[in-house]
Structure 1
Amino acid sequence: MNKHIDDNCIFCKLANGQIPTNSIYEDDDFKVILDAAPAAKGHAIILPKTHAANLFELPDEYGEKIFAIAKKCGKAIKETYDYDGLNVLQNNGEAAGQTVFHLHVHLIPRMKDDNIDIKWAQGECADGEKIAEEIKANLTD
């Protein structure tokens, strides 16, 4: 796959071995490292070795591999620490909580009553049919 590296991006440096990491998985296109400020023991992040600020900039061929890697690494973390659940989390843009603008996917092991708060207030979807039609009108390949 084509690889673009941003010399000013800390996650590009981590993913491509310019800065030492605690890596749990690596292939030609991705590196999975333990988060330096983990929410829980075993919290890891999946880093593409190509620079993309967010999901919308990530080449499709990279996007197709991310969930397979999340499954593989999430399963290994579960076998190691026997957690109760796993958040697979990816933020796009500052308003969504993204703080490093290199796409990354968090694998956060969860235990019942662990007090990690990844929740939102649930609203209502009163105009569901209209909203669905509006979004469908903007779908592209």
Structure 2
Amino acid sequence: MITTHAPATYRCPICLGVQGIVSPDTLIRPTDVVYQDELVTAFINSFFVGVNSGHVIVVPNEHYESIHTLPSAYGHRVFDVAQKIALAMKDAYQCDGITTRQNNEPAGDQHPFHYHFHIFPRYNDDGFNAVQLSEKRLAGAEERAEWAERLRGELGDN
């Protein structure tokens, strides 16, 4: 059985960010966006993990809580854009590898309750798996904008 985990009064921070709404209910700013089309948006995550700064989240523009309810057309587009971002990330960040992650439901460490697909830049011996929770920090909008600009420059008109 598929259930929603968002409270009845939930105001989705990702929906607000996709719409370009700056509000206390979202940390996403328009300067975080590195890609947007009719189905998906990709943006620099508000939280940086260890030395793996500038990771990207790809989301459907419509609200779907998890992989359980995400229509396949959106899933396909999320993957296509994630691949494009990963390739751009390799050049823009000079990273040695990429890690992707997608969490569902509270037991799967999902928060917020809007489907989102993470793309992390990885570096040799970066300790990512050991620090991903203990060294997570909120990055400022200006810092995120710098990382977003690097990726947008690499993505060009793709």
The alignment's TM-score, normalised by the length of structure 1, stands at: 0.75
1:60-112 deviations in Å (ceiling 9; x for gaps): 21011111101101111111111111111100111111121100000101111
| Relative contact order, higher structure (CA 8 A, sep 6+) | 2
Does the 8 A contact of 1:42 with 1:77 survive in 2? no
Alignment of 1:1-141 (within 5 A): 8-19=11-22, 20-21=29-30, 22-39=32-49, 40-117=52-129
- Deviation at residue 42 of structure 1 after TM alignment: 2.3
Q: Give the secondary-structure state (helix, strand or coil) at the position aligned to 2:126.
A: coil
- RMSD of aligned Cα (Å): 1.7
CA–CA distance in 1 between the matches of 2:16 and 2:74? 18
Q: What secondary structure is seen at the aligned counterpart in 2 of 1:73?
A: helix
**In the aligned structure 2, how far is the partner of 1:58 from the partner of 1:36?**
23
Q: Which whole-Å deviations, capped at 9, do the CAs of 1:12-70 have from their partners, x for residues lacking one? A: 11112123231111111111110111221220101111001100111121011111101
- Give ranges in structure 1 of 5+ residues lacking alignment: 1-5, 119-141
Q: Identify unmatched segments of 5+ residues in structure 2.
A: 1-8, 23-28, 131-158
- Identical positions, percent: 31
TM-score normalized by the length of structure 2:
0.67
Q: Distance in 2 between matches of 1:49 and 1:78?
A: 25
- For 2:10 and 2:72, locate their aligned partners in 1 and report how far apart those are by CA, in whole Å: 22
